[in-house]
Amino acid sequence: MNKSVEILVVGGGPAGLAAAAAAKEAGVKAEDILIVERDRELGGILNQCIHNGFGLHTFKEELTGPEYAQRYAEKVQAAHIPYLLQTIVVDIRTGDGKDKGVCGTKYVTAMNKQEGIFTVEAGAVVLAMGCRERSRGALNIPGYRPAGIYSAGTAQRYVNIEGRMPGKEVVILGSGDIGLIMARRMTLEGAKVKLVAELMPYSGGLKRNIAQCLDDFGIPLKLSHTVVDIDGKERVKGVTVAQVDENRRPIAGTEEYISCDTLLLSCGLIPENELSAGLGVELNPVTAGPVVNESLETNVEGVFACGNVLHVHDLVDYVSEEAESAGRNAAEYALRRKPETGQGQQRAEKESAEICDMADAGRSAEAKIQDGLAVDGDEAPNSAAKQGSGIAVKTGRGVRYTVPSVLRPQYMQEEQVIRFRVGEVCREVELVVYFDGAPVMRMKKRIMVPAEMEQVKLKKENIEKHPGLKEIQIAVEQA
Amino acid sequence: MYDAIIIGAGVSGCAVARELSRYEMKVAVLERASDVCEGTSKANSGIVHAGYDAEPGSKKAFLNIQGSRRMEALSEELDFPYKRNGSLVLCFEESDREKLQELLERGRKNGVEELRILEREELTKLEPNISEEAVAALYAPTGGIVCPFGLTVALAENACVNGVEFHLDTEVQSVEKMEKGYRVESSKGVFESKAVVNAAGVYADAFHNMVSAKKLQITPRKGEYCLFDKTLGDYVSCTVFQLPTKYGKGVLVTPTVHGNLLVGPTAEDIADKEGVNTTGDGLEDVLKRGGYSVQKIFAGKVITSFAGLRAHEAGDDFVIGEPEDAEGFIDVAGIESPGLTCAPAIGEYVAELVRKRIPAAKKTDFIAKRKGIPSVALADEAQRREFIRKNPAYANVICRCELVTEGEIMDAIHRPVGATTLDGVKRRTRAGMGRCQAGFCAPKTVEILARELGKDMAQIRKNAGESTFFAGYSKEG
């Protein structure tokens, strides 16, 4: 294995695979790329998503999760891009140009059974670690703590990978897509899914999943409901479900006891950014993912992010698309940085010096996370300053976040995709893009829902027509 | 015939077992749960109290000071996490200063060293995130924090290595006085013993009342807690208590030895001795009261919540010793706070009581030292390399949140009184204790448990009784 690479990709799921393949296509040699994957095979969480519906955008056909993953795994294998399995990255740091390594070089420490603990030097790093599920503990659901409470993804793994049934009588809290998929899956495997309860007044999952996974099987969905108590000292015996008011507080008198042996939780996904935080990557408290610029590069130069570690997606097609962009940008960065000629060397050194100047900004972000100040509900940081000169992309009314949040026109592609989510269900609205306060684009939308990621495409030529542009804002307004 | 049967493998029972294992005695611990440390010992604040709280002259006061003084040396001898982080009692009203002064004086009477009052300026220097309402505080630099699982497991392992039998999943049903000694009937058969140590936590009254006419009543006093993410582990450095106020008895805010933040407990007397459920009101109360002590409670950073039952006895002191009418039956009852702190002292004290009845010589081959499971998370790179060189499984990370490896889990399973359940692994290694709360590692840990114990995954339990994970195979329905 090469202990020094141009691009190291952390994670071999759909994001990591697409990023690596795109980096190769952009001109980085296969042996200068390395994918590090913690599981037994490539493909990430898609390997347990055996239902179909993947790839409609990318391949214009309906694939299962493993099939979709396989296409990208084969691409990586055909390109001879090296990868390590059952290997976990435990630390990433940037050299400081002094006693702790070459300035700007990333030092990635990983562990596996074959090689023990080892460090790989990388010019660029692509973060593609994915996300985890919100746990019962994080939801702070009262009651006993028996066996039989699973996050929907854990249950999915048990059923689809281990071939085990987590239970026979099921209540599902949360209508996220994995929960909906598991409602159908458990039903097909002979379990009785008694109810899906959703805290919010709208579903957290895709419309098609509500139809295909609940409606088709007669599984009731109760909106504005939550679990207020869990019964059973050894194994779950039942749960108490209650209606909630507009402040999401249980309404006394609406409690209903439902006997069951299993409670599945599908209450949101959280990007896994512990490694990123350790590296000094600034995180957006709204997405819990890195703050990135148009190149999907974080505040730590040469560190890119894509897929669910950046922000949680609902369709893997967009993960692949985003990851390909991150991979290409990482490749460009790595090739630019590579000191092949004398001139290149000089430029590399100059850029390295700049990177080290920027390192302090990164550390302050880490300190903020360590202090626990970057918590849910905080304002999204204004990162334009830290990203150097650039156009800030701001959230307007109704928009929770945008990815990216800074654009540097000189690095933009001809067309720049801005992905975002709305904060609540909105009907008959207009999506408006403002350039320094002046509306430049209006698009009518019949309906927009928080469960479905939205996007707008900005043309580089339009932005270049506004020299000195400081701020782009995206807002949802009544039509 | 056993020399001593100990009912209950909580921290008190295990401490007594470890002390008795120094002597030539046949000792067994009977525990109804599937593991040690499954009752009150697993769900508490993890505090080593300095000793200013208890009434001077009480057993609590004496054993607290002794326990607090011994904890550090014991943590080195038995290799469990302990830290002397100091404790503070916040005073929120000028009019309450008198109470603070009383506490200081009581502490001095009890023999607590280095106690002093901090004024606001000094207090905020020590704890920048402390509430703006706090006017002063009692500071006890000798206060500490300990891993309650680590302490209990260490005591049990060491007792086991020195010959004490541990019978788990063994529920005592009755204790009967015989002409000489006691007949203890359990779900796993009958044990006869010269002496019985009753360390049964909230059930200590039941066993006591089987042999003594002088009845005892233990009331389960529920305490609910919220545990916060490690990003908040240094939000406070000391354990921060509150003087009782008009809002009632306060809750504490403390770092844990593992770097989380813990807030709690509530205090509610309940009837159900199995009532370890949390409640919506209780958890809300914890967050609200915790908020009095610090500038902000980050509710979104809670990673789990839990409830424990303190074994409260009406006399408000520990009940340790023989009832007048039951020679050789030694109660270790009513061990509520500061019971965890007292455990090392309780162990010695009770062992002496047993030895008065059952004289025995000291073992010449007693092994005093115990080495804990090496932690990859806490090790530096050179140490990690060394662990991995000895066993490559130490490079296979199973719990990514807490960085726990297959090697550590295998070690936890194969130790004396080893882990057989998911919770057992969790409490010994921290696998599943992190922010994803075992979402990713549970399937892998269950698989390792099954493999190492030669069982099917369907037989592996979360903890006690019927707490299994599966209802058959897919494609059966």
**What pLDDT, on the 0 to 100 scale, is given for residue A356?**
57
For residue A337, what pLDDT band results from cuts at 50, 70 and 90? confident
Q: Mind telling me how many Å the CA of A390 is from chain B's nearest CA?
A: 31
**What pLDDT, on the 0 to 100 scale, is given for residue A361?**
43
SS3 B433: coil
Closest C-alpha to B294, from A372, A379, A374 = A372
**What pLDDT, on the 0 to 100 scale, is given for residue B219?**
97
- Burial class of residue A273, CB neighbours in 10 A (0-12, 13-18, 19+): buried
Residue given tokens 């090689």 in the structure block? A115
**Chain B CB contacts of A108 below 8 Å:** none
For residue A368, what pLDDT band results from cuts at 50, 70 and 90? very low
Complete DSSP assignment for B324-372: TT-TTEEEEE---TTHHHHHHHHHHHHHHHHHHHS--PBPSS-------
The average confidence (pLDDT) of chain B is 96
For residue B308, what pLDDT band results from cuts at 50, 70 and 90? very high
Q: How far apart are CA A23 and CA A42, in angstroms?
A: 17
**What pLDDT, on the 0 to 100 scale, is given for residue A362?**
42
The answer to whether residue B259 scores a pLDDT higher than 90 is: yes
Tell me which residue in A114, A153, A234 faces B464 most closely, judged by beta carbons: A234
Tell me which residue in A38, A117, A137 faces B304 most closely, judged by beta carbons: A137
- Burial class of residue B271, CB neighbours in 10 A (0-12, 13-18, 19+): exposed
The answer to whether residue B292 scores a pLDDT higher than 90 is: yes
Q: How far apart are CA B99 and CA A194, in angstroms?
A: 55
Across the interface, whether the CB atoms of B436 and A133 are under 8 A apart is answered: yes
**What pLDDT, on the 0 to 100 scale, is given for residue A1?**
58
Instruction: Tell me how far CA of residue A364 lies from CA of A368, A407, B128, B246, in angstroms.
Output: 6, 22, 18, 41
**What pLDDT, on the 0 to 100 scale, is given for residue A457?**
96
Proportion of chain A above pLDDT 90, given as a percent: 85
Across the interface, whether the CB atoms of B473 and A377 are under 8 A apart is answered: no
Report the run of H or E that residue B283 belongs to, with start and end: helix B280-293
CA A5 to chain CA mean position, Å: 25
DSSP state of B195: E
- A378 vs B217, more confident: B217
Mean pLDDT of B430-437: 95
Kindly report, residue by residue over A93-115, the tens digit of the pLDDT: 999 888 888 989 999 999 999 99
The answer to whether residue B368 scores a pLDDT higher than 80 is: yes
Closest C-alpha to B334, from B211, B326, B342 = B342
Give the CA count within 13 Å in the CB-facing half-sphere of A260.
27
**What pLDDT, on the 0 to 100 scale, is given for residue A351?**
52
Cis preceding linkage at B338, omega within 30: yes
The answer to whether residue A373 scores a pLDDT higher than 60 is: no
Mean pLDDT of B79-98: 96
Kindly report, residue by residue over A238-288, the tens digit of the pLDDT: 999 999 999 999 999 999 999 999 999 999 999 999 999 999 999 999 999
Q: Mind telling me how many Å the CA of B390 is from chain A's nearest CA?
A: 11
Mean pLDDT of A128-144: 96
Residue of B305, B381, B451, B463 to mutate, interface with A, max A Cβ within 10 Å: B305
Backbone angles phi, psi at A346, to 5 degrees: -60, -45
Closest C-alpha to A255, from A239, A240, A244 = A240
The answer to whether residue A355 scores a pLDDT higher than 70 is: no
The answer to whether residue A360 scores a pLDDT higher than 50 is: no
User: Quick check: B333 and B308 in contact, CB under 8 A?
Assistant: no
Closest C-alpha to A449, from A269, A196, A200 = A200
**What pLDDT, on the 0 to 100 scale, is given for residue A377?**
38
Across the interface, whether the CB atoms of A190 and B440 are under 8 A apart is answered: no
Count of A-B CB contacts under 8 Å? 170
Residue of A109, A135, A245 to mutate, interface with B, max B Cβ within 10 Å: A135
Mean pLDDT of B308-324: 95
Total Cβ atoms within 10 A of residue A202: 14
Tell me which residue in B381, B439, B467 faces A146 most closely, judged by beta carbons: B467
The residues that bridge with A223 in the sheet, in sequence order, are A198
Q: How far apart are CA B42 and CA B426, in angstroms?
A: 12
Residue given tokens 């782009």 in the structure block? A472
Catalytic positions of B, written as ranges: 49
Closest C-alpha to B471, from A131, A363, A192 = A192
The average confidence (pLDDT) of chain A is 90
Mean pLDDT of B334-344: 97
Q: How far apart are CA A128 and CA A146, in angstroms?
A: 34
Closest C-alpha to A311, from A290, A281, A280 = A290
**What pLDDT, on the 0 to 100 scale, is given for residue B63?**
98
Q: How far apart are CA B143 and CA B66, in angstroms?
A: 13
**What pLDDT, on the 0 to 100 scale, is given for residue B247?**
65
**Chain A CB contacts of B299 below 8 Å:** 140
Across the interface, whether the CB atoms of B396 and A38 are under 8 A apart is answered: no
Total Cβ atoms within 10 A of residue B292: 19
pTM beyond 0.90: the answer is: yes
Kindly report, residue by residue over B114-148, the tens digit of the pLDDT: 999 999 999 999 999 999 999 999 999 999 999 99
Across the interface, whether the CB atoms of A140 and B283 are under 8 A apart is answered: yes
- Give the number of residues written for chain B: 477
Q: How far apart are CA A139 and CA A269, in angstroms?
A: 12
The answer to whether residue B409 scores a pLDDT higher than 90 is: yes
Taking only residues 253 to 282 of chain A, the set having a beta carbon closer than 8 angstroms to any beta carbon of chain B reads 261-262, 272, 274
The answer to whether residue A359 scores a pLDDT higher than 50 is: no
Q: Mind telling me how many Å the CA of B448 is from chain A's nearest CA?
A: 13
The answer to whether residue A19 scores a pLDDT higher than 50 is: yes
Pairing between strand A399-403 and A238-243?
unpaired
**What pLDDT, on the 0 to 100 scale, is given for residue B65?**
97
Pairing between strand A33-36 and A83-84?
parallel
Across the interface, whether the CB atoms of A164 and B473 are under 8 A apart is answered: yes
Cis preceding linkage at A66, omega within 30: no
**What pLDDT, on the 0 to 100 scale, is given for residue B245?**
72
Mean pLDDT of A376-388: 42
Residue of B222, B273, B397, B398 to mutate, interface with A, max A Cβ within 10 Å: B397
- The one-letter amino acid code at B307 reads A
Total Cβ atoms within 10 A of residue B283: 24
Q: How far apart are CA B135 and CA A188, in angstroms?
A: 62
Across the interface, whether the CB atoms of A90 and B301 are under 8 A apart is answered: no
The residues that bridge with A393 in the sheet, in sequence order, are A472
Q: Mind telling me how many Å the CA of B407 is from chain A's nearest CA?
A: 10
For residue B476, what pLDDT band results from cuts at 50, 70 and 90? low
**What pLDDT, on the 0 to 100 scale, is given for residue A385?**
38
Kindly report, residue by residue over B186-241, the tens digit of the pLDDT: 999 999 999 999 999 999 999 999 999 999 999 999 999 999 999 999 999 999 99
**What pLDDT, on the 0 to 100 scale, is given for residue B475?**
75
Q: Name the token pair of B347.
A: 């162990």
**What pLDDT, on the 0 to 100 scale, is given for residue B424?**
98
Mean pLDDT of B362-366: 97
Q: How far apart are CA A279 and CA A362, in angstroms?
A: 8
SS3 B98: helix
**What pLDDT, on the 0 to 100 scale, is given for residue A346?**
47
The answer to whether residue B248 scores a pLDDT higher than 60 is: yes
